[in-house]
Chain A
Amino acid sequence: MNILKNTKYIATAVLLVTLVSCNKFLDVKPVDSVSDEQTIFDKSSAETAVRGVYRALAADSYYGVSFPSIGYLSGDNVQWTGSQSIVQQFIDHNVKSDNATVSSVWLAIYTTINRANYVIAKLPEVNDATLTAAYKNQLLGEAYFVRALAYFDLARTWGGVQIVTTPTLSASDKNGIARSTVEQTYAQVLSDLNTAEPLLPAPTTPNPVRANKETVWALKARYYLYQKDWANAELYASQVITKTANYTLLKPYSAWFANNAVGTKESVLELAYSATYTNGHRGQWQPPANSGTRQWAPNTALLNLLNDPLTGGTRSALVAKTTAGLWYGNLYYRSPATDPAYVLRIAELYLIRAEARAQQNKLDDARADLNLIRDRAGLAVTTALTQDDVLLAIENENRLEFALEGHRWFDLVRTGRASAVLGVTNAQKLVLPIPIDQITVDPALTQNAGY
């Protein structure tokens, strides 16, 4: 071969290569994700984004497992029976700021808020002829409701927190936000609820997997209860209770969760799971014989109460025993793991109203609500006489009615009874520590006292 010929080949090869290696070659786009510039721009993308908000609310680290677990582990119903020692930190009220559950819940709640913020920021600007004003309002109202719930949970767990109301567009655009007070945080909750209420329609048929106007009332009832605004708590609870076509106390007690029931009239808001989106909760409760880890289990005191026909009644269905004699919680049991997360049940509205009425010294009305709950559990009417007795009876009813849901700790903290019932004498321990890594990464964030 001669030189000329070779050179010709090489020149051709080099030319080819240079042509290919233009910037087009380096412009590679993903196929299973989209740029965040085109997220909410029409009806369909608005709908998918709102579903994404609910999926965040239902994440294992939020309403799936972790957040309810803080509520019951910190109470007096559950004992640690697994390998994760951090569980015992809640039971022992000796939570460290490096507790992984605390950190994961904090992240999950703010992830939910960010998704809601995207909808709240972008949806109003969407112009799509197929997106009716009513539907647009509904989607927007749902985002406001979820954000209200998220800030409510932050406030009752940590106290005042940083308030973020815009979607995050860059890593630094949430720098320098200081913590609000607990009052300001609750004010944000109320503001979002007030915004959501007119936007959301009342449901034509029961649909507890999504928020609607009545869901807002239910959360408002709980909100006012926490604020000790008894009149409003009673008012909003009544508004929900009167919608008997949508919500009713199911009998027997287990009817709202047993036999793979979903979306019953017991639920005002329950989050949905599927084979694709499972709920890890069962794994923490179920014993190895049922393919769980039984990380925690009902403690002796709770077992005694639930199994006592005079206190637990049909609520004994919440616990079960293996052939080897191991007791376990059986509220979350399904396979695939599709147990709903129960956020608001009608039973809670009755007990909210009972408490609000008792506080207003409407003791007969209070007892009537309480007795509905007791009756549903197969128990006789309450014998409580004085206001204090009635309030204590409601407290004890709450303990068993929501034994495996995340209520007990927050109830005892809100009523100021954590010291008397749980022996938590150090008031600083009534809120959880801010995750230490968040303190490290965010100079604007301060730790709760005592941690």
Chain B
Amino acid sequence: MRIFIPVEKIMALKYALIMLLLAAPLIGLAQTEPPPTINSVLKGRVFDAANRDVLPGATVSIKGTTHGVTTNSEGRFEFVTGQKFPYTLIVKFIGYESQELVVNGSPLEVYLKPSSQILNDVVVVGYGTKTRKDLISAVATIKANDVKNTPVAGFDAQIQGKASGVQINSNTGVPGDGVFVRVRGTTSINASNDPLYIVDGVFMNNTSLQTVNTGGRATSPIADINPSDIENIEVLKDASATAIYGSRGANGVVIVTTKRGNFNARPKVSFNTLQGVAWQPKGDLWQLTTGPEHAEIVNEFYRNSYADAVAAGNTAGQNTYRNVPFRALTDNPTLTPAPRGLPSEQNTYDRLDKIFRNGKLQNYDLSLEGGSKDTKYYIGAGYTKQEADIKPIDFSRASLKVNLDQRVSDKVQVGTSSSISRSLRTQGRAGDGPAGGLFQSALHTPTYLPETNADGTPARYAGFDNLQVLLDNYNVHTTSLRYIGNLYADVEIIKGLKFRSSWSLDYDNYNESEYWNDKTQLGASPTNGLGTSAITQNSAWINEQTLNYHTVFNKKHTLDVVVGNTLQSNIIKLTSAQGTGFPNNAYTDISSASVRTANQTYTKANLSSYFSRISYNYASKYYLEVSGRADGSSKFGANNRWGYFPSVGASWRAKEESFLRDYNTISDLKLRASYGVTGNQAGINNFAAQGLWNGGAGYPDNTTGGDKPGTAPQQLANPNLKWERTAQVNAGFDIGFLNNRLNITFDVYNKQTSNVLLQLPVPYITGYSTYSSNAGKISNKGYEVGINSTNIKTANFSWSSSFNISGNTNKITSLPVPINQYSRDWIRMQQGYSMYSFWLYKQTSVDPQTGNAVFEDVNKDGTITAADRQILGSALPKFYGGLSNNITWGNFDAGVLFTFQQGNKVLNLNRFFGEGGGTRDANRVIFASQLKRWQKPGDVTDVPRLTAYGNNYTLEQNSRFLEDGSFIRLKSLTLGYTLPKSLTQKIDIQSLRVYVVGSNLLLFTKYTGPDPEANVGGGQAVQGIDLGTPPQPHTVQLGVNITL
């Protein structure tokens, strides 16, 4: 049986209660007015024409008068006026087309159409907002709602493929790990290349605080933010947009605006949940040799090496390789190497199966937003837990967000944004480095080796852990407790002149603990347990004052002026302790360890800035903008502390000219150009300019006294160290057709960075390897195209597409000496080449007669030396982008997003180790691709003859392992169904949508590893190296979204 209570009554009661609670303190502020002459009373309600939602906060006014009212939380308004019917009413609401209608009686229902024009969208720019039509600079806007359901922890990873000019690479499949983000190319070598992230006015730290070793990867501080709280994301790309951020603007600025309520809006409760699974299809993984195949390869390697040693008269070599290891157990058992049984007797053990799993994904978000006459609020709570598809890695985050704005008077508004989150990670070493390495155990262990020793104990090989033991005993946990908050006050001093002061804080308490018990390699006897605990605290505060002046004079001249200053300070403190020698595995606190060491570091940087921007336009037709910023940084010597960063931009809205105004095919045309200078000082050591000595070089005075303190030079001084400087020219146009159903944005830019901050190599005879210097020039030139199209729009069916493509050419135009990166110097920064270029010996062929690898002898001296290494391709793509399509059909909706990247190279280091020709014998797996090796004269292959001698397998930097990493990926696919309103409203629900989201379901690439976006990490100078890196998972999630 069902008890029937009229829905309206429940709702009215509920709203009344909430309103009362929230509005109570404000009632006193209500004003009384003298009674007017009443000639008519008009009551009415305003609705969204598309979905019939009520529209609170719309303004209703009578044409030709100043009299206006705002609709209430139920969209109702009431008009008492001296005017008589009929009169013309104007109804306006942001995001909707304004409507004029003649009224001749009450009550009235008004239906506003959502604005099909994007021109009036408000775009957040540095220290202010602009409507899109007034925008001079290149700014990409991403609606968070479009992407927030992709199961990666950070919003930066979610916007891949959504914005032109923004290259995003996932790096790994580990949720919450750092991603590679570049806005318009890479501008620096050692200073930061990441954009500046600003969340509600807070310059947020984007440098990982991680200290535990996860094989080169690092966690992302961005992941501390719940993407569901985000309203939209703007990416400021050209100098006219970023110069006002001066020294922080060279790599672009990402401005994140979180959700805030609306004044006079009824409370809206939203609940969203997603439940899903992440997995890795086995077919996408590495193809390995079987045990017998591995044995055959190694035996062949021994036979060939022995023959070579004989030919060279090398007796030690003959001894070493005389007996093949895979021989019958009875065949000379005392000779080394000991016999391991015939190849055919070998088993094959699959470890990859043990590490991959179906990771569980869950996400819950609950929010409340709304507002009264003078207060608006947003409260969001979220919880997400994402298990990686490899054990034991997972990420979870609980977050709380409160945004509150209060009008204190008609001239003063104060507000706050606060978010607190706790990110909890179970981490794993998946990257470089043997001990504790997940893929070292799971992938790099030869397949013929059993999991256990003859006595049944777990077996460890090649410096790697036993996989099962590792998975059972992994104990690496990290908690990031993060507060990001901002408090502001706005004061309107006189009409048009606003003052704003704000204080912001970004505080992160990053707490890591590792415990390797005595079953794991790191903690095994004689270490007897290895425990580490580290607490890193990052606190950054910012104080900002701005004065904003807006005026229109002679009706056609609009002038906006901003001036301001900011002070910023950033402190990072680290305290860590390590213990070894635990009594047994039950004791995991370092206080139980017999040997304990501790570590402490402290670093601080301050920045003081003044800035201004002057914007002028004539009749919304001709625009001119000038901005500048002066930054003083504590990182530099007294002579070079201050940097000055000007910009100028202009645009012309040709559509407003008489010759285009009435030409309807073209609905908008704007030409833009800008030039400006930005700086960079982020990422370098806070004390990089100073010559320093440090402690930490202790040594005993005698055999019994133990270590005594010691000191040593740490770095060379460079009193001339100064800002890196990026000058950027941008030109572009925006064009709209057919009432802006088709919009095209096109930009070209030329970004020239000079005084590049880098660790410049110095001759080692100085006793140093590098010193901090401004020593290079880097050029980035590129184009960006964004196309948005509403292909079909009818009452019941709509289909829209958006496509973006960006190309960037990066080149180091000046660098005094090449700089190598990563172990084995795989990557080289060199004048005349792109960043992230690979420095290799080019294997041109394998000699069909001898089976020896043939390398290109660049200097033609007849021998292959290091001088023959050359640069062969870069990890940077020639172009990249995304294509998305969205369809709604009745209550159904569908979205599909493809991302693509072309021309980037990936160094497949897993294959480098797996195709070692048997030289690594029992120390590494052998990939199935090794079976293609040269065996006899006439064989044509690119895999050389197996031998320990010569260059076939000891010349490590072989171009054979450099692969094409271009790809097209089905990044996400969404299918949704919104229950009919008629149904849901009966149960007091505004809207109810169920949907399915899939991600990474398809991948088209020539790359032989599982994920061409994989990158081992190892600092910002390393990209495109795939080693032991978890590939991105395929995911499918089922979601429900309820709005009350």
Contacts and interface: CB of A to CB of B under 8 A. Distances in A.
B527 A336 contact: yes
Interface in B299-353: 312-316, 319-320, 322, 335-336, 338
A441 B820 CA distance: 12
Given A36-B693, A83-B924, A26 B606 contact: yes
A336 B595 contact: yes
Given A37-B691, A52-B712, A86 B956 contact: yes
Given A107-B769, A274-B706, A336-B580, A288 B697 contact: no
Contacts of A9: 491
A39 interface: yes
Contacts of B949: 92, 94
A245 interface: no
Interface stretch (A183-191, A232-240, A386-394, A432-440): A432-440
Given A17-B565, A58-B699, A262-B703, A32 B767 contact: no
Contacts of B957: 98
A376 interface: no
Given A82-B463, A88-B919, A48 B709 contact: yes
A101 to B, nearest CB: 11
Contacts of B699: 51-52, 54-55, 58, 209, 272, 277
B597 A276 contact: yes
Interface string B848-878: 0000000000000000011101000000000
B698 A28 contact: no
B98 interface: no
B825 to A, nearest CB: 6
Given A436-B867, A438-B763, A293 B693 contact: no
Contacts of A27: 634
Interface string A16-41: 01101101011111111111110100
Interface in A140-175: 162, 164, 167-171, 173-175
Contact of B764 (A13, A107, A293): A107
B469 interface: no
Contacts of B632: 21, 23, 26
A17 B953 contact: no
Given A25-B608, A168-B766, A17 B709 contact: no
B754 to A, nearest CB: 19
Interface string B819-852: 0100111000000000000000000000000000
B691 A36 contact: yes
A177 B765 contact: yes
B521 A52 contact: no
B954 A92 contact: yes
A10 B762 CA distance: 51
Contacts of B455: 323
Given A1-B411, A6-B499, A207-B703, A96 B711 contact: no
Interface residues of B, number: 124
A118 interface: yes
A89 B953 CA distance: 10
Interface residues on A, range: 35 or more
A324 B710 CA distance: 43
Contact of B954 (A85, A290, A293, A324): A85
Interface stretch (A109-117, A125-133, A221-229, A359-367): A109-117
Contacts of B820: 437
Nearest to B412: A1
Contacts of A6: 411, 491, 493, 499
Contacts of A175: 763
Between A106, A336, A441, the greatest number of chain B beta carbons within 10 A of the residue's beta carbon is seen for A441
Contact of A17 (B336, B464, B494, B567): B567
A167 B767 CA distance: 8
A263 interface: yes
A424 to B, nearest CB: 10
A292 B463 contact: yes
B692 A55 contact: no
B691 A35 contact: yes
B761 interface: yes
Interface stretch (B150-158, B613-621, B714-722, B994-1002): B714-722
B866 A55 contact: no
Given A82-B463, A293-B463, A21 B686 contact: no
Contact of A288 (B464, B501, B580): B464
A372 interface: no
Given A274-B707, A437-B761, A110 B565 contact: no
B526 interface: yes
A38 B595 CA distance: 33
B763 to A, nearest CB: 4
B217 interface: no
B898 interface: no
A301 B336 CA distance: 10
Contacts of B525: 335
Contact of B712 (A115, A164, A177): A115
A322 B228 CA distance: 56
Interface in B704-758: 704, 706-714, 716-718
A427 interface: no
Between A6, A98, A323, A445, the greatest number of chain B beta carbons within 10 A of the residue's beta carbon is seen for A98
Contacts of A181: none
Contact of B313 (A85, A111, A423): A423
Contacts of B316: 76, 299, 301, 422
A415 interface: no
Nearest to B462: A288
Interface string B596-612: 01001111111010000
A208 interface: yes
A97 interface: yes
Given A98-B957, A441-B817, 9 more contacts: A6-B499, A13-B545, A17-B545, A80-B948, A96-B865, A110-B767, A162-B765, A168-B768, A445-B763
Q: Which 3 A-B pairs have the closest CB atoms?
A: A114-B767, A263-B703, A51-B710
Interface of A: 1, 3, 6-7, 9-10, 13-14, 17-18, 20-21, 23, 25-37, 39, 45, 47-52, 54-56, 58, 76, 79-83, 85-86, 88-89, 92, 94, 96-98, 100, 106-107, 110-111, 113-115, 117-118, 162, 164, 167-171, 173-175, 177, 206-210, 262-263, 272, 274-277, 288-294, 299-301, 303-304, 323-325, 327, 334-336, 422-423, 433, 435-438, 440-442, 445, 451
29 contacts: A9-B491, A30-B603, A30-B686, A32-B600, A48-B711, A50-B710, A51-B710, A55-B697, A56-B697, A83-B462, A83-B916, A85-B955, A89-B954, A92-B950, A98-B957, A114-B768, A164-B765, A174-B762, A210-B700, A274-B707, A277-B698, A288-B461, A289-B460, A299-B316, A299-B320, A300-B335, A423-B312, A437-B817, A442-B765
